[in-house]
Amino acid sequence: MRFRSLLAMAAAAALLTGPAVSQDRYNSADFQRVTHALTCQCGGCNAIVGECAMDRCPSSEPIREEVAERLQAGEAAEDIISMFAERYGLVILSAPPTSGFHLSAWILPGVFLLGGAAVVFAVLRRRRSVAAAAPAGGGAAVPAVDASPEVLARIERDVEQIR
Amino acid sequence: MHHLGNFSLMAVVVMCAYAVVASLLGVKKQSSQLVNSARRALIAAAGFSALSVAALLALFLADDFRFEYVASYSAAALPWYYKVSALWAGNDGSLLFWTFLMLVFAAACAISRRRDELMPHVVATLGGVILFFAYMNYWVCNPFGQLAEITAAGPIPFTPRDGNGLNPLLQHPIMAIHPPILYTGYVGFVIPFAFCVAALWTRRLDAAWIQNTRRWTLIAWFFLGSGILLGGRWAYVELGWGGYWGWDPVENAALMPWLTGTAFLHSVMIQERKGMLKIWNAGLVIVTYLLCVFGTFLTRSGIVSSVHAFASSEFAWRFLVFIIFAAILSAALLITRIKDLRTENELEAVVSRESGFLFNNLLLLAACFAVLWGTLFPVLSEAVQGEQISVGAPFFNRVNVPLGLALLLMTGVGPLLAWRRSSLDSLKRNFTVPLLSGVAAGVLLFALGMRHPYAILCFAMSAFVVVTIGSEFHRGVRARRAHRGGGYGTALFDLVQRNTRRYGGYIVHFGIVLLFIGFAGNAFNKDVIADLNRGESTAIGPWKVTLQDLPGGETPVHNWLGAQVLLSKNDEPVGIFQPRRQLDKATGQATSEVRRHATFQEDVYLVFSGMTEDGRATVHVYRNPLVRWVWIGAFVMFLGTVLTLLPNRSPVRRAEVTAAEGAALEAV
């Protein structure tokens, strides 16, 4: 039984072994920036290279290693990102470029928000004008009244009590 | 057993078809017998659906590997509880489970609302929707298919000695409950959807359908939100990348209906109170349900790649046809009823509770659109440009963080605005203290050295919202004490009991604030990777991680190797932790078992990434501030939602307030 366990552990250790690397270079700010601008190309996980937790990932690990080497060789972070984009295509970038057709990815949510805000303001203005045109308008569930501050204060107090 | 499963599936199809036909015929012939039989058919369908689920479950528990679905997702050595959860591990079983849950909701609705005048049309709608899913279960994604070996003489039944096993990442207690809870949220929205369609169909478009479905909507919203947060928790403790939300398409698919559902829960208050926004509310319910179905389409279609998705299904187009069909039908109903959906009142001021709700809805919908747009943009880019692109966390964070902060702000602003219009005096009175608190918090954090603009904004707004919520409770308690006397605690208890919806809602808002505080912690995440020999250390901030040993072992399910580390803070020992790498015997898949030292201030998150060739252990240490507040916030939201679902002890009797008093009060 002991022998079987040792065998199993040896098998596990062998399968869990990865390439020997020096990890200090994995901890620089530039390394973090570049690896977070790239996505894993293993074909399904969509993970950011800097966050991919797959054991011995055939995509993220070589990319991380190459990024570290290039940074050590003195290449600029932006140049490394561009180099990967040229090699793999735009699919490796973790966010769409901010030019050409892909700019629409960034712009449209803002357009939606501003368009929606314009519609809300237009609705508010139109409805306010309708309400102003018919101050005692039929259908108003609660007709407006002219109440003194004392009455208002008393009502507020009463309603607080029944809350 | 599989015969029982298949028979039950067929019975579900027949019962749902009957429910549609009988309820419509019953309406046409004004036959209450037919209408009732349709309703009972839906209840019977739920029973048959339960039988088919039980049959599949029995096959899993009996390790009956003759069946392809069982052999694909289970193995003999799997503990019984993971055999149960393997039921929803794949496309076919999860769809079966989805249909079952939807029928549970449908049956509960058919029983509890049997006297509702909308019921015949509700039954017809529910029957029609569930019929589609039952059809998919029986003919397209049947989980009772048997394995066969193709030979020259034809297919011969084949039984493997063992199954492929369950994905080891899914072998986690949270994964045993996360899918059912998430699915319950998804399918639960079918009830408000069915009531909305029924109301449009019959032109009974007052607020009754909304009031009658409020609890259903809230339950669905609650389960969907809980499912999302449980998914985040699972990702955090199981996947080993140090985070809980990756903006994966399948995560996004669940978030979208939650956002529109949240918008709906707010805007219904305007319809209930003022008879306004009828079209908007009907549209929101329809969109929310369609997004729920779209979510399952995204998961099963493979149109976007996702770590969570089931294998690309050739049958996904059927879902798309269903979604398009349901959208066209719902839109047609909405358009033809526009005249009946006219508002009963008008908005009177830009600065009012009503417009606050409108802007809250706008922000929620903008966030939903941004998520949808980002999720589908790779598909669009490939169609238009012919080039694949990725849209990941950097995009979603940049677009959604400002929207999220604006929503957080509205969480505090909304309750301070009066209905109809807010006078300058009331604005000054209500806003001064919360606003000063927010500004003070921001200035203090800046003075203490914090420089991250979004984090400062988030904490400042959180302070603003917390003071707002606190002042709402305090004002209510003060009024109750003035009226009835008694201690602060008694008055608070009394106050909350008398308006569970309002104060439960505030507690949910408080939970949201805690969530945002947890999210803001992400701005300060740090991590370090180190290759360590025994006795060597790596440091991150005040924390030091020293490798002590590399133990290993074996269980019936996997082999494992651990990195036993001593965690110290400022050279004071905190504890010994053993993050592991595991190798699943059935699937051969290696996974991480992370270990965490969690405090209210921060989590130290330890991952054993593997061994280097020269025998050193690669340890990844994350320092994640404030993560615990995400889980606490989720729990507070849970408490708040449960409170809103409770009936008021003594309902607010609005009739006691005269129309004139009401009008005057609203003008305050």
B272-318 pLDDT, tens digit per residue, is: 888 888 888 999 999 999 999 998 888 777 666 665 555 555 677 88
Residues of chain A with C-beta less than 8 angstroms from the C-beta of B560:
12
pLDDT at A20: 37
Distance between B336 CA and the closest CA of chain A, angstroms: 21
Distance CA B593, CA A53 (A): 11
pLDDT, tens only, B195-225: 999 999 999 888 788 888 888 999 999 999 9
Average pLDDT over residues B408-421: 88
CB within 8 Å of A130: residues ≥ 6 apart: A137, B346
Mean pLDDT of B329-347: 84
> Confidence band (pLDDT; 50, 70, 90) for A161?
low
What was the pLDDT predicted at B26?
Answer: 94
Q: Which of B239, B365, B482 sits opposite A116 (nearest CB)?
A: B365
Give A130's contacts in chain B (Cβ within 8 Å). 346
Q: Does A144 touch chain B (CB under 8 A)?
A: yes
pLDDT of B264 reads 95
Q: In what order do the strands lie in the sheet with B543-549?
A: B537-540, B543-549, B564-569, B572-577
Here the tokens at position B407 are 């929503």
Structure tokens at B588: 């051969």
Q: Where are the alpha helices (DSSP H) in B337-452?
A: 353-385, 393-416, 424-447
Beta bridge pairs of residue B607: B620
DSSP β-bridge partners for residue B156: B149
Residues from chain A that touch B399, judged by Cβ atoms under 8 A, are 106, 109
What is residue B550's predicted lDDT score, i.e. its pLDDT?
A: 95
Nearest CA-CA partner of B406 in B338, B370, B458: B458
Taking CA atoms, B286 is separated from B36, B282, B292, in Å, by 26, 6, 10
Percent of chain A with pLDDT over 70: 61
Q: What is the mean pLDDT of residues B466-494?
A: 90
**C-alpha–C-alpha distance, residues B517 and B461, integer Å:** 10
DSSP class per residue in B108-171 = HHHHHTTT-TTHHHHHHHHHHHHHHHHHIIIIIS-TTPBPEEEETTEEEE---SS-----GGG-
Residue of A nearest to B588 (CA): A15
> Best mutation site among A23, A35, A120 for testing chain B: the one with the most B CBs within 10 Å?
A23
Q: CA of B650, closest CA in chain A: separation in Å?
A: 9
- Sign of torsion, CA B583 B586 B587 B592? negative
CA distance B428 to chain A (A): 16
Ranges of each domain in chain A = 2-95, 98-134
CB atoms within 10 A of CB A77: 18
B524 Cβ contact list (under 8 Å, min separation 6) = B452, B455, B625
Question: For the purposes of burial, counting CB atoms within 10 Å of the CB of B299, is it exposed (0-12), middle (13-18) or buried (19 or more)?
Answer: buried
Contacts of A52 in chain B (CB under 8 A): 241
Mean pLDDT value of segment B377-385: 91
Nearest Cα residue to A35 out of A46, A24, A50, A45:
A50
Q: Per the CB < 8 Å rule, is B381 touching A102? A: yes
d(CA A67, CA B190): 49
Distance from CA of B11 to the nearest CA of A (A): 38
User: What's the CA gap between A90 and B381, in Å, rounded?
Assistant: 11
Residue contact B345–A141, C-beta within 8 A? yes
Q: Do B664 and A163 touch (CB under 8 A)?
A: no
B444-478: buried (b, 16+ CB within 10 Å) or exposed (e) per residue?
Answer: ebeeeeeeeebbbbbbbbbbbbbbbbebbbeebbe
Shortest CA distance to B87 belongs to which of B40, B112, B52, B123? B52
**Mean pLDDT, rounded, of chain B:** 90
Query: What part of A 45-104 touches B (C-beta under 8 Å)?
Result: 45-48, 51-53, 55-56, 89-96, 101-102
Looking at this predicted complex, what is its ipTM? 0.85
Mutate: best of A64, A160, A161, partner B, most B CBs <10 A = A160
Residue numbers in A near B483 (CB within 8 A): 160-161
The pLDDT of residue B421 is 77
- Residue B638: its pLDDT value, please? 95
Most confident of A23-37, B148-162, B176-190: B176-190
Closest CA in chain A for residue B494: A163
Average pLDDT of the segment spanning B634-660 = 74
CA B147 to the chain's CA centroid? 35
> May I ask the CATH class of domain A2-95?
mainly alpha
Query: How do the domains of chain B map onto residue ranges?
Result: 1-146+164-169, 523-625
The answer to whether B565 touches B548, Cβ cutoff 8 Å, is yes
Q: Which residue from A minimizes the CA distance to B492?
A: A163
Show which of residues 46-85 on chain B sit within 8 Å of chain A, judged by CB atoms. none
Provide the shortest C-alpha distance from residue A81 to chain B (in Å). 14
The pLDDT of residue B182 is above 70: yes
Distance from CA of A91 to the nearest CA of B (A): 4
pLDDT of B240 higher than 50 = yes
Q: Which of B303-312, B357-366, B482-491 has the highest mean pLDDT?
A: B357-366
Q: Which parts of B578-658 fold into alpha helices (H)?
A: 628-645
Mean pLDDT, to the nearest integer, of B517-532? 93
Query: What pLDDT, on the 0 to 100 scale, is given for residue B656?
Result: 44
Residues A105-159: tens digit of each pLDDT:
999 999 999 999 999 888 877 766 666 665 544 444 444 455 555 666 666 666 6
Query: Side-chain half-sphere of B486: how many Cα atoms within 13 Å?
Result: 15
Q: How far is B416 from chain A (nearest CA, A)?
A: 15
First to last CA, chain B: 67
What DSSP designation does B315 have? Answer: T
In B, minimum Cα distance to A132 occurs at B348
- CA distance to partner chain B, nearest, from residue A38 (Å): 9
Residue A47 pLDDT greater than 60, yes or no: yes
User: Which residue, among B17, B179, B183, B178, has the nearest Cα to B98 in the 3D structure?
Assistant: B183
Task: Name the residue of chain A whose CA is nearest to B248's CA.
Answer: A46
Mapping DSSP to helix (H, G, I), strand (E, B) and coil, where does residue B530 land?
strand
Test B581 with A141 for CB contact under 8 angstroms.
no
Bridge partners of residue B100, in order along the sequence? none
Quickly tell me which residue has 């995560």 as its tokens. B251
**Contact between A93 and B390 using a beta-carbon 8 Å cutoff:** yes
| Interface contact flag, B581 A112, Cβ < 8 Å | no
List chain B residues with CB under 8 Å of A123. Answer: 347, 358
Q: Which residue in A23, A37, A124 is closest to B618 by CB distance?
A: A23
Helix (H) or strand (E) holding B95: helix B91-112
Q: pTM for the whole thing?
A: 0.89
Tell which A residues from 93 to 132 touch B, by Cβ distance under 8 Å: 93-96, 101-102, 105-106, 108-109, 112-113, 116-117, 120-121, 123-124, 127-128, 130-131
Q: What burial class does residue B233 get, using C-beta atoms within 10 Å of its C-beta: 0-12 exposed, 13-18 middle, 19+ buried?
A: middle
Beta-carbon contacts of residue B97 (< 8 Å; ≥ 6 apart): B53, B87, B88, B179, B180, B183
- Answer yes or no: is pLDDT of B596 > 90: yes
Element (H, E) at B214: helix B208-234
Q: Do B552 and A9 touch (CB under 8 A)?
A: yes
DSSP line for chain A: -HHHHHHHHHHHHHHTB-----SGGGGSHHHHHHHHSBB--SSS---BTTT---TT-TTHHHHHHHHHHHHHTT--HHHHHHHHHHHH-GGGBSS--SSGGGHHHHHHHHHHHHHHHHHHHHHHHHHHHHHHH-TT-TT-SS------HHHHHHHHHHHHHH-
Distance of residue B477 Cα from the nearest chain A Cα, in angstroms: 9
Contact by Cβ (8 Å): A112, B372? no
d(CA B412, CA B406): 10
Give the residue carrying structure tokens 């009963």: B344
Smallest Cβ–Cβ distance between B389 and the set A53, A96, A116 belongs to A96
Q: How far is B184 from chain A (nearest CA, A)?
A: 26
Please name the member of A8, A48, A121 whose beta carbon is closest to the beta carbon of B554.
A8
Contacts of A142 in chain B (CB under 8 A): 420, 659, 662-663, 666
Contact (CB, 8 A) for B609 and B620? yes
Mean pLDDT across B653-664: 45
**Neighbour count for residue B61 (Cβ, 10 Å):** 14
Nearest chain B Cα distance for residue A77, angstroms: 16
CB pairs under 8 A between A and B: 259
| Residue showing tokens 């699972």 | B234
Judged by CB atoms within 8 Å, which residues 587-616 of B form the interface with A? 590-592, 607, 609-614, 616
Under 8 Å between Cβ of B528 and B624: no
Give how far the C-alpha of residue A26 lies from the chain's centroid of Cα atoms, to the nearest Å: 23
State whether residue B425 sits within 8 Å of chain A by CB: no
- Whether B403 and B363 have beta carbons less than 8 Å apart is answered as yes
Q: Is A138 on the interface with B (CB under 8 A)?
A: no
pLDDT value of position B16: 97
Residues of A in contact with B613 (CB under 8 A): 17-20
Q: Which residues of A touch B392 (CB under 8 A)?
A: 39, 46, 48, 94-95
B667 — pLDDT class (breaks 50, 70, 90) = very low
Lowest mean pLDDT among A67-71, B414-418, B564-568: B414-418
Nearest chain A residue to B525, by CA:
A32
Does B393 lie at the interface with A, CB-CB under 8 angstroms? yes
CB pair distance less than 8 Å for A55 and B590: yes
DSSP B67: B
Q: Provide the pairing of β-strand B572-577 with B595-598.
A: unpaired
Nearest to B7 by CA among B147, B141, B138: B138
Which among A8, A15, A91 has the least Cβ separation from residue B388? Answer: A91
